[in-house]
Amino acid sequence: MKWKDLPGVFLSVWIAAASAFSALGLFRNLVMTGFRVVIFLALIWLLAMVGVYWLVSGWLPRRLASFARRAQWALIGGCLLAGFAAIEVIPITRNPMRYFLPSNELKIEATGRRNPASSGAVVRVRSWSDGAQEPFDLSTFQKAKGWTFDLEMIYSGGEDAEPLIWRGGLLTRGYLSLLTGPDEGIARITWKGESQEVDLYTLERTLKVIKLPGPGLPGRFFWLAAVLFYATAIGFWLLVSLLWFSGLSLREGTRVQLGWKALGFALPMFTVWLGYLLV
């Protein structure tokens, strides 16, 4: 290996890691824990690294050479911007980053006590989410004696119910939704070692949302890293796809010129996408 090959190697390692991470994020309902995650990521990373190195060491430069210099920069920059824009369109999740976050414990206890006006002491968990838009599957809670797992909620069935426990990482603030009503009891919520008791009695059936503090700076750092991974992987493979399709109709020695009219067409599209992402 020569020194001039190092940029291609580093780029291959980065793109392969981003591709492995993105592949894991595309499986929205994939439940993987422990060593299986490492094996899954390692296999995709190795396969992607070999393929990416082959592309960047020969095929990609040859394809780009068929375009004028301005067209080359427009393709690379446009695909990278499209990668960032695709994050808002493609149904990907932030789940992969949670495998690398410090694990926290959420404990929900049915105390068996109730408001004097309540006719019962039931505790019903409606949802648990990372931020307001990303609910976890309720099956990620550990099975516990005295709790019934329904399709839409988890509820306690007696005073001897064991604590309901969830362990995992959050990227933002946690939102715990508990059902309230005339037969609800008092629940004890423990998060990061701090406990609070919540009286769930109300005359009408409603939903009480308890906001729990997020991880702070580490979580935001992981989310920014996730965005960079997704955008890099999507942008790179989009560039490869465009160059492959363009090569189907190009003749050898043909150079594609990018005129100012094309820039005038692309600028409004870029403005619209930028406004959409910022809003």
Q: What is the pLDDT of residue 104?
A: 79
Query: Are residues 41 and 25 part of one domain?
Result: yes
Considering the domain architecture, whether residues 158 and 140 belong to the same structural domain is answered as: yes
pLDDT at 35: 58
Q: Which of 113, 93, 82 is nearest to 31 (CA)?
A: 93
217-247 and 69-86 are packed helices; what angle lies between their axes, rounded to 10 degrees?
A: 130
Q: What's the confidence (pLDDT) of residue 271?
A: 56
pTM of the model: 0.56
Same domain, 14 and 69: yes
Q: What pLDDT does 211 receive?
A: 92
How far is it, in rounded angstroms, from Cα 190 to Cα 178?
Answer: 14
Check whether residue 12 and residue 71 sit in a common domain: yes
Number of domains in the chain: 2
Residue where one domain finishes, among candidates 214, 241, 258 = 214
> What single-letter DSSP state applies at residue 58?
I
What range defines the domain where residue 150 resides?
A: 102-214
At which of 195, 214, 233 does a domain end? 214
Both 93 and 223 in a single domain?
A: yes
* Mean per-residue pLDDT pooled into runs of 10, the chain (279 residues): 64 75 58 59 77 82 81 82 74 56 82 91 92 79 91 83 86 88 94 91 93 70 74 83 68 53 53 55
Residues 6+ apart with CB under 8 A from 199: 115, 186
Number of H helices, E strands in the chain: 7, 9
pLDDT for residue 232: 84
The dihedral region occupied by 151, where left means phi > 0, alpha psi between -120 and 50, and beta the remainder, is alpha
